[in-house]
Amino acid sequence: MPETKLKRVFVANRGEIAVRVIAACRALGLETVLGVSEADRDSLGARLADRAVCIGPPAAAHSYLRPDILIAAAKGTGCQALHPGYGFLAERADFQRMCAAADIVFVGPPAAAIEAMGDKVNAIAIAKRVGVPTIPGSDRLQSEDDARALAQAIGYPCLLKASAGGGGRGMRIVRSEEDLAMAFASARAEAQAAFGDSTVYLEKFIERARHIEIQVIGDLHGNLCHLFERDCSVQRRHQKLVEEAPSPALSPIQRAEMAETALALAREVGYSGAGTVEFVYDMDDGRFYFLEMNTRIQVEHPVTEMVTGIDIVQEQLRIAAGQPLSFRQADVTIAGHAIECRINAEDAPRGFVPSPGRVTRWRVPAGPDVRLDTHCYEGYLVPPFYDSMIAKLIVRGEGRQHALDQMSAALAAFAVEGVATTIPFHRAVLAHEDFRDGRVTTRWVESEFLHNWQLAA
Amino acid sequence: MSSLMQREMSYALTYKDVVDILRLVRESAHCQSFELQLGDLKLSITYRCASDAANEAPHAGLIAPPAVAEKPERAPEPKIGLDVVAVRAPMLGTFYRAPAPGEPPYVEVGDIVEEGDTVGLIDVMKLFTQITAPVSGRVVEIPAENGALVEYGQPLVLIEPL
């Protein structure tokens, strides 16, 4: 990287994304310091970073979620920038501001953009202002009566959603007026527990939907580009399990429209850094609606990297160092098709119950178009304190069919013992006709696939 | 199974036994090393007296890097004896040995402290936490350097309980 004041980066995250960020820093000749909780002292990230500092006990609340500790660690180790990864404090505008006040470059968008998009109701209002289509819905609900009246207007089925956060928490489907009272109370309770804010709003519920999102990335010189879309329709409890790029559902015109819409929104909030604009795509009429914008690097970024050849994390670091994007929009093309499977340490046939423990066997697939983003190794103790994702398996094929075959082969070659994994689940999904034909909806796993698969198992 | 069973002396070595043995070794004018084998437990002690130590380079945490280092290095972990209590950092932050710059440090090596006495401060973004002695005793070592970044769990002050 050409001369810049950025020499050392503090990595304020863990697991596979910590490994990913360290690798990107290394490629750019940047030194790395990783903050680790006691449970992660012996992690792969700790071994790869130039230095690892212990930031607290295992519980995230006392370590990875402590902005003051992270900043003290970054300053104390001479870092000029901090990469927050995803989750944890990545979308906390106050954390971004604290970094700025401490003269540390936050690898991410400006605090104002994080704030604008962080409140989901506010983000929808901004989308409307720019002419981005939004799902027919309500503003923040003041009361159950308010909810009842608005649900009447929007029509059933509808969806109650938390205003302060996503990830499927604080969400309830309401199919009829009689279900409303209970759904309202329970959505509010869950939202309060998950985000400290019980505010919910209503949205029309689209029965047959696909989740399609556009990757955007912008530098501090006014260049804002999109890197096309990802389709993340294979979900369970609103958690993505399989993602692919490009989407098998979009026509070229729809793709271009969605991309332009995403850019318009990003431009409106003065976006810089990497971000993702998520849409709900109605399979019944081909229309799409703005869902939310995530102002951070996403878990599934590798599928975009595999088909565009652009290293998004490296671009993030370059942007943070004040450099322009290393490409122009006209240079961005999609070559081939990529699929990612999120491998979790969970026992899928038993309700996806987490399965922490020591990995006694870790035989991984490999090949020119196979990529494994992971922090695991043979002998690693998967800790019980954090989310259960242990690896992301990504493949690229010449076209979708080839990618499907590549993924099936890669999954078949992936042998893990000591912890249960969702590899068998993924193998079954990849073999399923619905998925292979590209016609799954966001409710497919729960309403069609799981029941039959668990019966057969 | 043989009808002639060998009876072995069984003896459980307790923590207190080990501490007593260490004291005996240290207080002895002549004892330099001691070895004890009990079943599959082996205890091995080598005692170096003060005059030996003076001829060696200091070994523990006394050469700590400055807060903003050229290269991201860390101070080596000090050796902590069995009869010593390590006061460990309850959080990551900057360690200070004195209440304010220019003032005398809370404790020096050799000082006697009471349980609850302040032995240092940790600063996390200008929020200061007092670090207190968990036991009464004598300060035998201060491995953490004034003004240095200390990690969660890092030994700051070593106290020999009295």
- Average the pLDDT over A442-448 and give the result: 95
Q: Could you give the 3-state DSSP secondary structure of residue A375? A: coil
Cβ contact A71–B125 (<8 Å): yes
Q: Supply A137's token pair.
A: 């819905």
Q: Is the pLDDT at B100 greater than 60, yes or no?
A: yes
- Average the pLDDT over A90-97 and give the result: 96
- Average the pLDDT over A416-422 and give the result: 98
Cβ contact A51–B73 (<8 Å): yes
Chain B, 15 to 54: residues with Cβ < 8 Å from chain A are none
Q: Which residue has the tokens 């943070």?
A: A320
Which residues is B95 bridged to in the sheet? B122
Q: Could you give the 3-state DSSP secondary structure of residue A408? A: helix
Which residues in chain B touch residue A38, judged by CB atoms under 8 angstroms apart?
152-153
Which residues in chain B touch residue A72, judged by CB atoms under 8 angstroms apart?
92-94, 123-125, 149
CB pairs under 8 A between A and B: 60
- Please give the pLDDT value at position A169: 81
Q: Taking a C-beta distance cutoff of 8 angstroms, is the pair A242, A429 a contact? A: yes
- Please give the pLDDT value at position B75: 62
The Cα of A54 is separated from the nearest Cα of chain B by a number of Å equal to 5
Q: Which residues of A12-24 are buried (b: 16+ CB within 10 A; e: fewer)?
A: bbbbbbbbbbbbb
- DSSP H or E stretch at residue B131: strand B127-132
A328 is catalytic: no
Chain A contact present for B155, CB below 8 A: no
Chain B contact present for A42, CB below 8 A: no
Distance CA A320, CA A254 (A): 32
Percentages of chain A per state (helix, strand, coil), in multiples of 5: 35, 25, 35
Chain B contact present for A34, CB below 8 A: no
Out of A56, A77, A98, closest to residue B149 by CB? A77
Q: Terminal CA-to-CA distance of chain A, rounded, Å?
A: 52
Cβ contact A54–B91 (<8 Å): no
**How do A51-56 and A31-37 pair as beta strands?**
parallel
B9 Cβ partners below 8 Å, 6+ apart? none
Chain B contact present for A77, CB below 8 A: yes
Distance CA A62, CA A45 (A): 19
Cβ contact A69–B91 (<8 Å): yes
Which residues is A160 bridged to in the sheet? A172, A202
Cβ contact B72–A51 (<8 Å): yes
The Cα of B95 is separated from the nearest Cα of chain A by a number of Å equal to 11
- Please give the pLDDT value at position B10: 52
| Torsion, Cα of A450, A451, A453, A456 (10° steps) | 160
The Cα of B140 is separated from the nearest Cα of chain A by a number of Å equal to 25
Q: Is the pLDDT at A431 greater than 50, yes or no?
A: yes
Chain B contact present for A413, CB below 8 A: no
- Please give the pLDDT value at position A12: 98
Q: Is the pLDDT at A238 greater than 80, yes or no?
A: yes
The Cα of A69 is separated from the nearest Cα of chain B by a number of Å equal to 6
The Cα of A153 is separated from the nearest Cα of chain B by a number of Å equal to 51
pLDDT above 70: percentage of residues in chain A: 98
Q: Which residue has the tokens 């020591």?
A: A358
Instruction: Report pLDDT digits (tens) over A296-310.
Output: 999 999 999 999 999
- Please give the pLDDT value at position B26: 72
Instruction: Count other Cβ atoms within 10 Å, centred on residue B41.
Output: 10
- Please give the pLDDT value at position B29: 66
Instruction: Report pLDDT digits (tens) over A377-391.
Output: 999 999 999 999 999
Chain B contact present for A26, CB below 8 A: no
Which residues in chain A touch residue B153, judged by CB atoms under 8 angstroms apart?
38, 54
Chain A contact present for B94, CB below 8 A: yes
Q: Is the pLDDT at B65 greater than 80, yes or no?
A: no
Chain A contact present for B64, CB below 8 A: no
- Mean pLDDT, all residues of chain A: 95
pLDDT band at B72; cut points 50, 70, 90: low
Which residues in chain A touch residue B96, judged by CB atoms under 8 angstroms apart?
none
Instruction: Report pLDDT digits (tens) over A160-186.
Output: 999 887 767 889 999 999 999 999 999
Chain B contact present for A56, CB below 8 A: yes
- Please give the pLDDT value at position B53: 42
Chain B contact present for A74, CB below 8 A: no
Residue scoring higher pLDDT (B20 or A276): A276
pLDDT above 90: percentage of residues in chain A: 91
**Which residue from B minimizes the CA distance to A71?**
B125
Chain A contact present for B149, CB below 8 A: yes
Instruction: Report pLDDT digits (tens) over B23-43.
Output: 777 777 666 677 777 766 777
Nearest Cα residue to A224 out of A185, A188, A261, A273:
A273
ipTM score for this prediction: 0.83
Q: Which of B88, B122, B152 is the best substitution to test chain A (most A C-beta atoms within 10 A)?
A: B152
- Average the pLDDT over B60-75 and give the result: 43
Cβ contact A55–B92 (<8 Å): yes
Q: Is the pLDDT at A365 greater than 90, yes or no?
A: yes
- Please give the pLDDT value at position A214: 98
Q: How far is CA B87 from CA B80, B111, B160, in A?
A: 11, 15, 11
Which residues in chain A touch residue B69, judged by CB atoms under 8 angstroms apart?
77-78
Lowest mean pLDDT among A35-39, A204-208, B12-16: B12-16
Which residues in chain A touch residue B73, judged by CB atoms under 8 angstroms apart?
51
Q: Which of A14, A66, A188, A296 does the annotation list as catalytic?
A: A296
- Average the pLDDT over A126-142 and give the result: 92
- Please give the pLDDT value at position A168: 76
Cβ contact B92–A50 (<8 Å): no
Out of A33, A56, A78, closest to residue B152 by CB? A56
- Please give the pLDDT value at position B78: 79
**How do A31-37 and A8-11 pair as beta strands?**
parallel
Residue scoring higher pLDDT (B16 or A280): A280
Out of B71, B92, B123, closest to residue A53 by CB? B92
pLDDT band at A100; cut points 50, 70, 90: very high
pLDDT band at A146; cut points 50, 70, 90: very high
- Mean pLDDT, all residues of chain B: 78
- Please give the pLDDT value at position A155: 87
Instruction: Count other Cβ atoms within 10 Å, centred on residue B80.
Output: 15
